Structure 1
């Protein structure tokens, strides 16, 4: 009877080890994805800043035209 208990315990431990291994792989994949998304986010922020600057310049030109009219 104690042998059955040990076999069940061994099976549960193996299942836990397998689950932990899968979760560790998932964590690594998510870290890589997070890094890629962080890079993409930085690029989008730079594009956003560039567009804001262009809009400021254009609005400044419109203000100059309105002042001259």
Structure 2
């Protein structure tokens, strides 16, 4: 192999290593973002469940009023 071919190979390898490093950083950022979104999703589910329970209670009260009417 000539020196020129080795230099080209080295440049391609370095470019690949740089790309892999950037992709790993992006994956880490996406994992963090996913974790934050998962927490937010859990909070929204809890709020949704609370609203459903409040609605059930109110509907139960309406049913009681209609039974006594």
Question: Which interval holds the TM-score relative to the shorter structure?
Answer: over 0.9
SS in structure 1 of the partner of residue 39 of structure 2:
helix
- Which residue number corresponds to residue 33 of structure 2? 33
Detail structure 1 runs of 4+ shifted over 3 Å in the superposition: none
* Alignment TM-score, normalising by the size of structure 2: 0.95
* Alignment TM-score, normalising by the size of structure 1: 0.95
Q: Please report how far the alpha carbon of residue 53 of structure 1 lies from its aligned counterpart in structure 2 after TM superposition.
A: 0.3
Q: Supply the distance in 1 between the matched residues of 2:5 and 2:55 (Cα, whole angstroms).
A: 72
Structure 1, unaligned runs of 5 or more? none
Q: Please report how far the alpha carbon of residue 44 of structure 1 lies from its aligned counterpart in structure 2 after TM superposition.
A: 0.4
Number of corresponding residues: 69
Q: Please report how far the alpha carbon of residue 56 of structure 1 lies from its aligned counterpart in structure 2 after TM superposition.
A: 0.2
Structure 2, unaligned runs of 5 or more? none
Q: Supply the distance in 1 between the matched residues of 2:66 and 2:22 (Cα, whole angstroms).
A: 64
